[in-house]
A and B are shown apart, each in its own frame.
Chain A
Amino acid sequence: MLELRAISKTWRPARGAARSLLRDLHLTVAAGETVAVLGPSGSGKSTLLKIIAGLEAPDRGQVFLDGHDISGLPPHRRHCGLLFQDFALFPHLSVQDNVAFGLIEQGQRRTLARAQAIAMLQRFGLGAHTGAKVWQLSGGEQQRVALARALITAPRVLLLDEPFSALDADLRLGLRAEFQQRIAASGMAVLWVTHDEAEARSVGARGFRVVDGALQQLW
């Protein structure tokens, strides 16, 4: 279970006035539950995900995972998978090496990690592209690879930062259903950030909107 307690974050630009992005924010996401977070650009949604993943430190507040305070842990020890808007696939690695990346970082042997990655890619319908470079894939395929890469290490929390905003509308609908199915099977706590309310309602058991740095429950 993921739990956020009193998270606050102020953005201080090099010039101009400081702005409060997140204010005393509380949220609990149970294992196997998907929570959607809505909000316009610049409302602090992505910052919230980065705080959970350990990529940014909050000014105040704590992040708990299964009852343990992980606020002081670096990102690579948090077991949080993060899916990016622009996929963030590594262009110098092949598709299978992208997917195997996390396993190798966990200390698995390279050959074993690659074999697991190939098996994962086959389950994702990408078996024909294992040796390809990521930029040779279509947008939808790239996002599938990104999901496979995030899921292969079996993280306890999955964070999705507007995962389909770079894709066209038809592809978005198809991928959304596929992602929901795969994520549900993994039993993780999922926080899905989007600015599209229809998408949020279709994926989230509960939905919140970021308003003035606080979470307002919508359903």
Chain B
Amino acid sequence: MAEADRPAALRWPFAASWWPAAGTGVLAALPLGFLLLMLAAPAVCLLTQAAWSEAGWFAWFSPWADDYLRWRLIWSGAQAALSCALVLLLGVPLAWVLARLEFPGRGLLLRALMLPFVVPTLVAAMGVLALLGPRGVLQPVLPFSLEDTPWLLLYGNVFFNLCILVRAATEALEQVSDARVAAARTLGATPWRAFWRIEWPAIQPWLMSALCLVFLYCFASFGLALLLGGPRYATVEVEIYTLVAHELQLTQAGVLAAWMLLTTGLCALGYAALERRLATPVRADRIARQPPRGAGQWLAVVACVVVLALLCGAPVAVIVWRALAAGPQAWAVLAAPDTLQALWNTLRFSACALALATLLGVCHALAAQRWALLRVLAFLPFVVSPVLVAFGLLLLYPSWTASSPLLVAAYALLAYPFIAKSLAAGLDGMPAHYLAAARTLGASPWRAFWRVTWPLLQPALRRGMAFAAATAVGEFAVTLFLSRPEWATLTTLVYEQLSQPGASRYDAALVLACALMALALAVFALLEWPWGDAPGGEGAHA
């Protein structure tokens, strides 16, 4: 293997000999210590809570002996599996259109696919309710009510997760070797056979990896399940919240949390294994996108746009529409003292969390260039759901409950992996020659980092921070567990309005949801600006 063929991660730039191992240790200490205190210790606390109960080890299996809890566990897995099947069926054809056809608005469509990543869970759930719920705009034309059926939750899951699969499958299809497909065609394969025998096997690892993520997110779903699941189709996460917040049955909740940790841990291991397999160099001979030819391909483009608009755009659009239609009385809620206080709380908690998350993310990504294990650890906060994090923190640090440092730290825990992963990808994608060129041109290691590495990392950092900020602004579960009444954020205020009866409350919740979505989008756009042609972006490396 030639020197230049070595994986970039081994060469750039903190794997270099001038970067001492001790320096990496110092960088790694902060995120590792943080993960230990905020994630590992609470998770161990949850497990011991279950293991050392009065019922002994039998307590571990008690949920399976109870009809109600058994249903909760089975349904949580089943709805996640069903959601995986739905996004796979819908996502692969959509990805094929986006990867193979060049049409006006394609770039916009790909960008719009990021929308569900930015929209807060609670807003999405409200969007689904406003569209298909008991008072939804489509309810009059539906032949039956969707209330108390699993479809609302499944639709919410598809809204959030379809984009994950479509983006992964599009990227995978773009990696497929043009020469191999051409060879298959010259050997007599029809386009469909070439897809089935060449493209499908090539994209399978990407699909499996995306499906692992989708399963994780759906299985540990809280906000969507709380609002859309109803009494019958809520998930284990909702049950844990009910047991802790309303029934004070901590042992039972601990046992359920342990089963959740076990399942999500297994799923995360599968994801990590697949990610390692996907860490191969990008193919140079990609299949060029062609303009649509013939009615069939144009129909596919139109179908792609319509399906994405219905599944990913409609819940967002309907919230705006319903809020606008609610009238000035409902909009007066924006000027209410409670709303202004909630807005201030949202902004200050998010800003503090973003600052901490940025510090942690930068340290983590830089240290991970030398220690590969750190890359896996950056994924841990995705594995442990916000409900489990909050519950674990409640158990471990009871005297710190409802303290602002703990709340901000919990926000940062959920947000910082976005920054760490984005920066790590930026560092991996940076050609090692840039650093070598800077060094041979007389730059010291620090100067080379400051003048070359750091400016080139800006787009990755901004992108990571944008996702982290959107996560913090829309955070719901942790706030519900760890917050004080006077620290209500916009998400908890929306939930409070929804929990109370009356059409005016519902309209106020719609307006607040609209404001929350606008805030999340504005923060995201502000941090990610300027879009597209930032230095060091994809175009810059051409």
Q: Within the complex, what minimum Cβ distance (angstroms) separates B104 from chain A? A: 24
Tell which of B10, B431, B441 has the most Cβ of chain A within 10 Å.
B441
Q: Mark B423-450, 1 if CB is under 8 A from A, else 0.
A: 0000000010110111111111101100
Q: Within the complex, what minimum Cβ distance (angstroms) separates A93 from chain B? A: 8
- CB pair A91 B535 closer than 8 Å: yes
| B441 CB contact (under 8 Å) in A13, A50, A55, A153 | A153
Give every chain B residue within 8 A of A78 (Cβ-Cβ): 440
Report the interface size for chain B: residues with CB under 8 A from the other chain.
34
Q: Within the complex, what minimum Cβ distance (angstroms) separates B102 from chain A? A: 21
| B447 CB contact (under 8 Å) in A55, A81, A105 | A105
- CB pair B3 A90 closer than 8 Å: no
Q: Tell yes or no: A141 within 8 A of B by CB.
A: no
Q: Tell yes or no: A187 within 8 A of B by CB.
A: no
- CB pair A90 B452 closer than 8 Å: yes
Report the interface size for chain A: residues with CB under 8 A from the other chain.
38
Give every chain B residue within 8 A of A92 (Cβ-Cβ): 452, 455-456, 458, 535-536, 540
Q: Within the complex, what minimum Cβ distance (angstroms) separates A87 from chain B? A: 8
- CB pair B536 A102 closer than 8 Å: no
CA distance A88 to B436 in the complex (A): 9
- CB pair A41 B433 closer than 8 Å: no
| B4 CB contact (under 8 Å) in A14, A46, A102, A135 | A46
Tell which of B2, B442, B458, B540 has the most Cβ of chain A within 10 Å.
B442
Enumerate A59-81 residues with CB–CB distance to B below 8 Å. 74-78, 80-81
Q: Tell yes or no: B451 within 8 A of A by CB.
A: yes
- CB pair A13 B1 closer than 8 Å: yes
- CB pair B442 A102 closer than 8 Å: yes
- CB pair B440 A80 closer than 8 Å: yes
Q: Within the complex, what minimum Cβ distance (angstroms) separates A86 from chain B? A: 6
Give every chain B residue within 8 A of A74 (Cβ-Cβ): 18, 439, 444-445
Q: How many A-B residue pairs have CB under 8 A?
A: 101
Q: Tell yes or no: A82 within 8 A of B by CB.
A: yes
Q: Tell yes or no: A84 within 8 A of B by CB.
A: yes
| A133 CB contact (under 8 Å) in B436, B444, B458, B540 | B540
Give every chain A residue within 8 A of B5 (Cβ-Cβ): 42
- CB pair B442 A76 closer than 8 Å: yes
Q: Within the complex, what minimum Cβ distance (angstroms) separates B294 from chain A? A: 35
CA distance A22 to B482 in the complex (A): 62
- CB pair B439 A76 closer than 8 Å: yes
Enumerate B242-271 residues with CB–CB distance to A below 8 Å. none
CA distance A135 to B536 in the complex (A): 10
- CB pair A105 B441 closer than 8 Å: yes
- CB pair B436 A55 closer than 8 Å: yes
- CB pair B439 A54 closer than 8 Å: yes
- CB pair B433 A84 closer than 8 Å: yes
- CB pair A153 B455 closer than 8 Å: no
Give every chain B residue within 8 A of A135 (Cβ-Cβ): 539-542
Give every chain B residue within 8 A of A93 (Cβ-Cβ): 535
Q: Within the complex, what minimum Cβ distance (angstroms) separates B166 from chain A? A: 28
- CB pair B541 A91 closer than 8 Å: yes
CA distance A14 to B11 in the complex (A): 13
Enumerate B179-220 residues with CB–CB distance to A below 8 Å. none
Tell which of A11, A82, A88 has the most Cβ of chain B within 10 Å.
A88
CA distance A22 to B174 in the complex (A): 39
- CB pair A76 B17 closer than 8 Å: no
- CB pair A102 B441 closer than 8 Å: yes
CA distance A50 to B2 in the complex (A): 13
Give every chain B residue within 8 A of A106 (Cβ-Cβ): 442
Give every chain B residue within 8 A of A91 (Cβ-Cβ): 456, 535-536, 540-541
Q: Mark A6-25, 1 if CB is under 8 A from B, else 0.
A: 00000101100000000000
A–B pairs, 10, beta carbons within 8 Å: A42-B5, A57-B17, A76-B440, A84-B436, A90-B437, A91-B535, A92-B455, A93-B535, A102-B442, A135-B541
Given A53-B440, A88-B436, 12 extra CB contacts under 8 A: A50-B436, A75-B436, A76-B441, A81-B441, A84-B436, A88-B433, A90-B434, A90-B437, A90-B456, A91-B456, A91-B536, A101-B443
